[in-house]
Amino acid sequence: MKWITRTGIRVNRTATCWLIRRFLDPEAEFLFVPAEQVAELQAVSGATGFDAPGATYPHRDADGRCSFSALVHDRLAEDPVLVEMARIVQAADFKEQLDTHPAARGLELISRGFPQVTSTDDETALRASFLYDALYASIKQSNV
């Protein structure tokens, strides 16, 4: 399946790419385009958009959730580790929520460095998956 989001991925978009590949669609193909093109390309390509205006899963949905949190709550709410990760990712993604979870500031800080150590969004998504695998394992081990 194709998924589409805006370029320059950081916290929410890297986490969402990881979530999709790890739990929803291991063969996912990601398209990274300018934000203003996501809705149109989503409509013509049949891709599912996320974290952009007009996307199926917008940057902030009607319930105030980032796309990662919306996908977790809509499709994977039975996994308490993912629900906790959704709290962290959302707090890291929305600046006004940054201080609502102790792990959010670290995740936000790390994600600011992604474009400094990768050259494409595909590379960022691939390399950041290690971070989210480790976060998932750590939360799971702590018996959340």
Q: Cβ–Cβ contacts within 10 Å for residue 1, how many?
A: 11
Which pairing describes strands 48-50 and 29-33: parallel, antiparallel, or unpaired?
Answer: unpaired
Backbone angles phi, psi at 31, to 5 degrees: -115, 130
Report the number of distinct structural domains present in the chain.
Answer: 1
Of 112, 115, 25, 141, nearest in space to 75 by CA: 25
Residue-wise pLDDT for 67-101, tens only, equals: 999 999 999 999 999 999 999 999 999 999 999 99
Where in the sequence is the domain holding 56, given as residue range(s)?
A: 2-141
- The whole model's pTM is what? 0.95
